[in-house]
Amino acid sequence: MSLGNECISEESPSEIVTDSLEINSNYQHINSFNSIMSNRKPDDICILHINIRSLRKNIDKLSNMLSTMQKPPHIVAVSEAKINKSDGLSFPTTITGYNFLHSDSEKRSGGVGIYIDSSISYQIKTDIPNVLNDSESLWIEINLHKKPCIIGVIYWHPGYDISAFTENIREILHNISDKKLPFIICGDININLTQQNTIP
């Protein structure tokens, strides 16, 4: 599991989109991760992203991990959930204390979901597309500690046209920026950003 250090800048969202690229992700053992989670400030919005590699196979592990945390995350985003449109939800996805939303994949892999703490009000952002070129995404707006925030999770299937995908992402970022709200995007886009000079 990887944990990214996130911050919300005082700059406008459009400046954040065009002027920053920070890659700061460290692998964490569950004990160090629990320590980080338990030390967070009361007003923090805590989001955990996991590439679950099949929610059906790993739902019990995820549920057990969350149940051991003294301060579980407000949002758990999962990518590569392997929920596809032909099968639908043919297995249990319930985790105590959370509501579950999902965007299914046309393919056997992929698909995304968001677990939202059941005490948090949310709305699905239907004005942000959830099907991109060879990818799936899901967007919500939450209001936690009187702070509205847009949260999205994306999974892009590797091996397809990166330029079409990035053009769609560009349009989505401009759409979100126009809303003048802080936003957090998590997921697995399968593009190595450290090789941006060699990947067209």
Is 13-192 a domain of CATH 3.60.10.10? yes
What is the per-residue pLDDT for 22?
A: 55
Contact 46, 37 (CB under 8 A): yes
Given this model, what pLDDT does residue 134 score?
Answer: 87
Residue where the block lists tokens 């003294």: 70
CA angle 49/52/53 to nearest 5° reads 145
156 near 172, Cβ under 8 Å?
A: no
Residues of the chain with pLDDT under 50: 1-21
Cα-Cα-Cα-Cα dihedral of 44, 2, 14, 140, to 10°? -60
| Each residue's pLDDT tens digit, 33-61 | 788 887 888 888 889 999 999 999 999 99
pTM of structure: 0.82
- State the sign of the Cα–Cα–Cα–Cα dihedral 48, 49, 53, 54: positive
Q: Is the dihedral of CA 129, 131, 134, 135 positive or negative?
A: positive
Question: What would the two tokens of residue 189 be?
Answer: 């886009």
